């Protein structure tokens, strides 16, 4: 127990985090691996927010004038520093968020990948030249930096989500204020220190370009309500989004909302069942069911139901659950007691409406919350199946008609990720057209997106897109410019307005 605290201290020292920031504060930080307290973190008090916002605004005014490829150079250096610190950061993600080592490393790799993407982007912030209807005119659109970008992030991706946003925001010419989850402040301090090393090598980044706001939801609310913040990218529960969205709309601010998911996968009769089994197992049990893209609903065709459920039960019964630092396990802890209680409540509610529950028991005791992943055979999409419970519960249902099951799949409030396992190209295409999610996959599970695609979902998932593709446009302001290089003043649509 004591060793974990000591190891965390050594990691933070190596990563360059000022000790006072995490030992002399008022906010406790703990590891879900053992429940042990790791530090007392300094929080930003509400009175200091004003100064932080002023500094971010001043930094934006300088940074926006720096040529975009030069801004990309800062992100390139950041990527280099992340590569050098990858092992330490990955270990810290495992300690603070409970991810198994390969997932901790994967999260840091995601930061590196988005840095690479953003460096290339810094030379590709293209606008269009558009044909005009007026003789002697030229029309074009130009993308300008937007302003201060606020990032609010969730505990389950304690560092990658910030990088998805910050790497793009920075090459687009913006400053960034980041409010990480109160459950994962140490990784936030660590990656901010790594970013600071890149800034030092860069040389002339304005002060306040990237700032960290450690504390509770009130700091997130301050970002949401302040007119100096042009865009808020908020990742977390739909409950959080319900509070944030109308407030941002009330001041006409931009929003990227990345909220809860209730992701479904369909296994069709023609599926490669071994591949489907692995895809479903990772999607449902990976990260202990604590990914926004976790597979939570499984629709099995009648003809393969019994055999597939038998294989799944065997996989669930043998999967390693426990402290990923002590043994080679695939399922680490839930983040805290509240997560465990929510899981037990959902299992109770499922049983009450006819669900047959396999697994879900607590493993061990003390201050940490390990659970056996739960498989629940459901008579239909009722009760807790309709909502996201942020824990490893997979609800399994039967179907016999593809169109009907796609309708059922879409009949929940969230719309993040979806998948079908089939070797029938017609079924695959029908599913891709009909799934109402932001992500739809064929022959791979619902979780594990790459940074190159735009990430996000529809309906109560919030509608936001971040990371790859053209997500960068949200971090910029588009201006349409028309230039008249003729001696006449023709009006659009042939309007005449002659004055003497």
With H, G, I as helix, E, B as strand and everything else as coil, classify residue 498: coil
Residue 377 is a catalytic residue: no
Q: Is the Cβ of residue 243 or residue 410 nearer to ligand NAD in the bound state?
A: 243
- For the bound state, the minimum distance from the C-beta of residue 196 to ligand NAD, rounded and expressed in Å, comes to 21
Q: Is the Cβ of residue 92 or residue 224 nearer to ligand NAD in the bound state?
A: 224
Q: Is the Cβ of residue 137 or residue 228 nearer to ligand NAD in the bound state?
A: 228
The DSSP bridge partners found for residue 321 are 331
Q: What is the DSSP string of 155-188?
A: TTSTTHHHHHHHHHHHHTT-EEEEE--TT-HHHH
- For the bound state, the minimum distance from the C-beta of residue 150 to ligand NAD, rounded and expressed in Å, comes to 9
Residue 458 is a catalytic residue: no
36, 96, 199, 292: the active-site residue: 292
Q: Which two tokens stand for residue 401?
A: 């008609």
- For the bound state, the minimum distance from the C-beta of residue 349 to ligand NAD, rounded and expressed in Å, comes to 18
Q: Which two tokens stand for residue 314?
A: 């065997």
Q: Is the Cβ of residue 57 or residue 243 nearer to ligand NAD in the bound state?
A: 243
400-415 as b/e: b if 16+ CB within 10 A: eebeebbebbbebebb
Report how far residue 349's alpha carbon sits from residue 286's, in angstroms, rounded to the nearest whole number: 23
- For the bound state, the minimum distance from the C-beta of residue 465 to ligand NAD, rounded and expressed in Å, comes to 10
Shortest CA distance to 75 belongs to which of 172, 157, 161, 153? Answer: 172
Cβ atoms within 10 Å, residue 225 = 15
Judged by the rule CB under 6 A, the positions of this chain that interact with ligand NAD are 152-157, 179, 181-182, 216-217, 220-221, 224, 235-237, 240, 243-244, 258-261, 292, 388, 390, 416, 461
Question: How long, in residues, is the chain?
Answer: 500
HSE on the CB side for 167, CA within 13 Å?
30
Q: Is the Cβ of residue 80 or residue 225 nearer to ligand NAD in the bound state?
A: 225
With H, G, I as helix, E, B as strand and everything else as coil, classify residue 394: strand
Q: Is the Cβ of residue 290 or residue 323 nearer to ligand NAD in the bound state?
A: 290
Q: Say which residue the tokens 């995490």 belong to.
A: 22
- For the bound state, the minimum distance from the C-beta of residue 223 to ligand NAD, rounded and expressed in Å, comes to 7
182, 199, 258, 388: the active-site residue: 258
Q: Is the Cβ of residue 36 or residue 388 nearer to ligand NAD in the bound state?
A: 388
- For the bound state, the minimum distance from the C-beta of residue 138 to ligand NAD, rounded and expressed in Å, comes to 40
Q: Is the Cβ of residue 56 or residue 292 nearer to ligand NAD in the bound state?
A: 292
- For the bound state, the minimum distance from the C-beta of residue 458 to ligand NAD, rounded and expressed in Å, comes to 11
- For the bound state, the minimum distance from the C-beta of residue 181 to ligand NAD, rounded and expressed in Å, comes to 4
Report how far residue 89's alpha carbon sits from residue 100's, in angstroms, rounded to the nearest whole number: 13
Would you state the torsion angle of the CA atoms of residues 91, 97, 101, 102, taken in this order, to the nearest 10 degrees? -120
Tell me how far CA of residue 441 lies from CA of 304, 331, 421, in angstroms.
Answer: 20, 24, 8
With H, G, I as helix, E, B as strand and everything else as coil, classify residue 267: strand
Shortest CA distance to 158 belongs to which of 82, 208, 92? Answer: 92
Q: What is the DSSP string of 431-469?
A: HHHH--SSEEEESS-S----TTSEE--EETT-S--EEST
The DSSP bridge partners found for residue 455 are 466
The set of catalytic residues is 258, 292
């Amino acid at each position: 127990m004591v060793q974990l605290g000591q190891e965390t201290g050594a990691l933070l020292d190596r990563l360059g985090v000022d000790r006072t920031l995490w030992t002399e504060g008022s906010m406790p930080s703990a590891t879900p691996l053992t429940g042990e307290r790791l530090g007392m973190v300094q929080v930003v008090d509400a009175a200091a927010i004003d100064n932080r916002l002023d500094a971010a605004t001043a930094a934006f005014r300088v940074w926006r004038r720096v040529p975009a490829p030069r801004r990309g150079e800062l992100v390139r250096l950041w990527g280099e520093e992340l590569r050098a610190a990858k092992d330490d950061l990955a270990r810290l993600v495992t300690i603070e968020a409970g991810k198994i080592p390969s997932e901790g490393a994967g999260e840091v790799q995601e930061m590196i990948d988005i840095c690479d993407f953003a460096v290339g982007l810094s030379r590709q912030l293209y606008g269009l030249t558009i044909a005009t209807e007026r003789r002697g005119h030229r029309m074009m659109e130009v993308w300008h930096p937007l302003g201060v970008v606020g990032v609010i992030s969730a505990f389950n991706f304690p560092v990658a989500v910030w990088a998805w946003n910050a790497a793009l925001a920075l090459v687009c010419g913006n400053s960034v204020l980041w409010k990480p989850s109160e459950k994962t402040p140490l990784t936030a301090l660590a990656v901010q220190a790594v970013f600071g090393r890149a800034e030092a090598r860069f040389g002339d980044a304005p002060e306040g370009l990237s700032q960290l706001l450690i504390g509770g939801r009130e700091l997130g609310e301050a970002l949401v309500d302040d007119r100096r913040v042009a865009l808020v990218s908020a990742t977390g529960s739909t409950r959080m989004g319900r509070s944030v969205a109308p407030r941002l709309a009330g001041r006409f601010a931009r929003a990227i909302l990345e909220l809860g998911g209730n992701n479904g996968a369909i296994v069709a009769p023609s599926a490669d069942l071994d591949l489907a089994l692995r895809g479903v197992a990772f999607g449902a049990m990976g990260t202990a069911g604590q990914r926004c893209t976790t597979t939570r609903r499984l629709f099995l065709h009648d003809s393969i139901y019994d055999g597939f459920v038998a294989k799944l039960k065997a996989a669930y019964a043998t999967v390693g659950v426990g402290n990923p630092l002590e043994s080679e396990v695939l399922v680490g802890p839930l983040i805290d007691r509240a997560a465990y209680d929510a899981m037990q409540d959902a299992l109770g509610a499922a049983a009450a409406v006819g669900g047959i529950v396999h697994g879900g028991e607590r493993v061990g005791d003390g201050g940490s919350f390990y659970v056996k992943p739960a498989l629940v055979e459901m008579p239909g999409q009722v009760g807790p199946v309709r909502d996201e419970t942020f824990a490893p519960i997979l609800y399994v249902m039967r179907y016999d008609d593809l169109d009907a099951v796609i309708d059922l799949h879409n009949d929940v409030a969230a719309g993040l990720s979806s998948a079908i396992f089939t070797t029938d190209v017609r079924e695959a295409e029908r599913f891709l057209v009909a799934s109402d999610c932001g992500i739809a996959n064929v022959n791979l599970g619902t979780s594990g997106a790459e940074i190159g695609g735009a990430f996000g979902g529809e309906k109560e998932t919030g509608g936001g897109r971040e990371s790859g593709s053209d997500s960068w446009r949200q971090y910029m302001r588009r201006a349409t410019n028309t230039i008249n290089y003729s001696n006449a003043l023709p009006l659009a649509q042939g309007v005449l307005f002659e004055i003497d």
